[in-house]
Amino acid sequence: MPTVELIDPQTLTEADLVGLYESVGWSAYTRDPEKLLASVRGSHRVAVARSGADLVGLARTISDGVTIVYLQDVLVRPEVRRDGLGSRLVRAVLDADPDVRQRVLLTDAEPGQRAFYTALGFTEAHDHDPGLRAFVRMSV
């Protein structure tokens, strides 16, 4: 079972990230490796899992460090899924900011994602009590 560790994002390289992001098919990121590296290096927290020298999983957050943590990018290589690694990565980045009140994220409307985040204690905004609305404005 790969070890999960919080790392200094500045230590990551393009080569570290491109293989992992390609393995989950996120071509919007991998077609511009320079931007991919800048985005991950600009994160608040980054947790990674390695197999030897290769990254097999990563989770990262964006945050003011006080009131809100936004969970952005949780990815695990297909060959090591359903063994608890994604959950351990998310816990590692979230547990690093235990006093923050709001933990939020946006993800695809797939049943697997819903099951994954529900198992981690997240509630979809429209199911939240008291009621909440989540809004998004994407660029095309």
Ligand X SMILES: CC(C)(COP(=O)(O)OP(=O)(O)OC[C@H]1O[C@@H](n2cnc3c(N)ncnc32)[C@H](O)[C@@H]1OP(=O)(O)O)[C@@H](O)C(=O)NCCC(=O)NCCS
Report in angstroms how near the CB of residue 65 gets to ligand X at its nearest.
21
64 or 83: CB nearest ligand X: 83
Cβ atoms of 56 and 77 closer than 8 Å: yes
Question: Beta-carbon neighbour count of residue 62 at 10 Å?
Answer: 16
Report in angstroms how near the CB of residue 109 gets to ligand X at its nearest.
11
Element (H, E) at 7: strand 4-7
Residue whose beta carbon is closest to ligand X: 86
Report in angstroms how near the CB of residue 130 gets to ligand X at its nearest.
26
Report in angstroms how near the CB of residue 41 gets to ligand X at its nearest.
18
37 or 74: CB nearest ligand X: 74
In this structure, what are the phi and psi dihedrals at residue 115, rounded to the nearest 5 degrees? -60, -40
67 or 118: CB nearest ligand X: 118
66 or 118: CB nearest ligand X: 118
Residues forming contacts to ligand X in the complex (CB under 6 A) are 24, 73-76, 81-87, 107, 112-113, 115-116, 119
CA 41 to chain centre: 13
Give the DSSP letter string of 56-103: EEEEEEEE-SSSEEEEEEEEE-GGG-SSSHHHHHHHHHHHTSTT-SEE
